[in-house]
Chains A and B, each alone.
Chain A
Amino acid sequence: MPLPRLIPCLDVAGGRVVKGVRFQGLREVGDPVELGGAYSDAGADELVYLDVAATVEERPLLAELVARVADALAIPFTVGGGVRSLADAEALLRAGADKIAVNSAALQRPELIGELASLLGSQAVVVAIDAAGGQVFSRAGTTPTGRDAVSWAREAESRGAGEILLTSIDADGTRAGYDLELTRAVADAVSIPVIASGGAGTATHVAEALEIAQAALLASIVHEDPERLRSLRAELRGLGVPLRDAA
Chain B
Amino acid sequence: MKVAVCDYGAGNVRSVLAAFRRLGVDVASTREPADVLGADLAVLPGVGSAASALAGLCAAGLDEALRQRVEAGGPTLGICLGLQLALEETEEDGGVRGLGLLPGRAVRLRSGRVPRIGWARVEPGGDAFYFAHSYAAETEAATATSEGVVAIARAGSFLGVQFHPEKSGPAGARFLEQCLSRA
Judge whether A93 and B169 touch: CB under 8 Å. Answer: no
- A74 touching B114 in the complex, CB below 8 Å, given contacts A2-B120, A93-B12, A118-B49: no
Judge whether A121 and B48 touch: CB under 8 Å. Answer: yes
Count CB-based A-B contacts (< 8 Å): 108
- A98 touching B15 in the complex, CB below 8 Å, given contacts A2-B118, A2-B120, A5-B119: yes
Asked if B168 lies at the interface with its beta carbon under 8 angstroms from chain A, I say: yes
Judge whether B115 and A191 touch: CB under 8 Å. Answer: no
- A244 touching B128 in the complex, CB below 8 Å, given contacts A2-B117, A45-B118, A120-B48: yes
Cα A40 to Cα B47 with chains together (Å): 23
Asked if A51 lies at the interface with its beta carbon under 8 angstroms from chain B, I say: no
Q: How many residues of B contact A (CB 8 A)?
A: 37
Interface-side segment among B35-43, B61-69, B98-106, B131-139: B131-139
- One digit per residue, 1 when the CB lies within 8 angstroms of any chain B CB and 0 when it does not, for chain A 40-63 equals 100001000000000000000000
Asked if A234 lies at the interface with its beta carbon under 8 angstroms from chain B, I say: no
Asked if B182 lies at the interface with its beta carbon under 8 angstroms from chain A, I say: no
Judge whether B14 and A67 touch: CB under 8 Å. Answer: yes
Task: Describe A's contact surface by its main secondary structure.
Answer: loop
Judge whether B132 and A247 touch: CB under 8 Å. Answer: no
Asked if A3 lies at the interface with its beta carbon under 8 angstroms from chain B, I say: yes
Residues of B within 8 A of A99 (CB): 132
Judge whether A193 and B119 touch: CB under 8 Å. Answer: no
Q: How many residues of A contact B (CB 8 A)?
A: 38
Judge whether A214 and B169 touch: CB under 8 Å. Answer: no
A99 smallest CB distance to B (angstroms): 8
Residues of A within 8 A of B47 (CB): 93, 120-121, 123-124
> Which residue of A1, A40, A76 is within 8 Å of B112 (Cβ)?
A1
**Which chain B residue shows the least CB distance to A190?**
B113
Asked if B130 lies at the interface with its beta carbon under 8 angstroms from chain A, I say: yes
Judge whether B14 and A96 touch: CB under 8 Å. Answer: yes
Cα A28 to Cα B131 with chains together (Å): 33
Cα A247 to Cα B116 with chains together (Å): 23
Cα A72 to Cα B169 with chains together (Å): 11
> Which residue of A3, A71, A122, A193 is within 8 Å of B18 (Cβ)?
A71
Judge whether A192 and B113 touch: CB under 8 Å. Answer: yes
- One digit per residue, 1 when the CB lies within 8 angstroms of any chain A CB and 0 when it does not, for chain B 80-124 equals 010000000000000000000000000000001111111111000
Judge whether A247 and B170 touch: CB under 8 Å. Answer: yes
> Which residue of A71, A74, A95, A162 is within 8 Å of B117 (Cβ)?
A162
- A1 touching B119 in the complex, CB below 8 Å, given contacts A96-B15, A123-B47: no
> Which residue of A67, A74, A94, A245 is within 8 Å of B166 (Cβ)?
A74
Cα A45 to Cα B12 with chains together (Å): 18
Judge whether B147 and A75 touch: CB under 8 Å. Answer: no
List 3 A-B pairs, minimum CB-CB distance, nearest first: A2-B118, A96-B14, A244-B128
| 15 intermolecular pairs with C-beta atoms under 8 Å apart | A2-B119, A3-B120, A45-B119, A70-B15, A74-B169, A74-B172, A95-B14, A96-B14, A98-B12, A121-B49, A121-B81, A123-B115, A162-B117, A162-B134, A193-B113
